[in-house]
Amino acid sequence: MYKFKTIAAVMLFFVCLLTGCSSSLTMSLVFSVETGDQIKVTVDCSEGLKLKQTSNGFAVTKGENDVIQAFFVGEAMYQQYLDAVAAQEGVTVNQESSENGITYLSYSYEGEAGTENNFIVWIDGASTGVVAGSLSDLETATKVFHCISFSKE
């Protein structure tokens, strides 16, 4: 009887262990940014997305393609990007929102490489923002953007 209980306990442990692994479909990186903040970027990978560090920030990829490329900014640069969007002709503001620990502005415009769908983000409780850009269509860029979360560590 003792042997049966031991085997059952070991099997239950492995089932729980495997269940824990399958439910963890995220990838995270922590960045030490120029503002002095430690910013954790997490991507929900359930749609086949991956997070990678780049020379000046990070990118979210699907397959071989970078869907979103982003870099970190301080408050002054964050404000300059917001001011530029407000002053630029041909810019379409898609959404302004505060949710999940960030405040962001989504906008589109015709750039040299085609239509750019971009996001200007302020991370709540931090001294850091993020500027993210995508050449993917608006629906794809927005869907991928909503798979990213930010937090100050």
Output the domain CATH number for residue 128. 3.40.1000
Over residues 46-63, the mean pLDDT reads 95
Higher pLDDT, 16 or 98: 98
Domain total of the chain: 1
Per-residue pLDDT at 111: 86
Calculate ∠ Cα 97-130-26, nearest 5°.
85
Is 81 a member of any domain?
yes
Is 2 a member of any domain?
no
Is 3 a member of any domain?
no
Print the domain residue range for 43.
Answer: 25-152
Is 17 a member of any domain?
no
Is 73 a member of any domain?
yes
pTM (two decimals): 0.83
Is 8 a member of any domain?
no
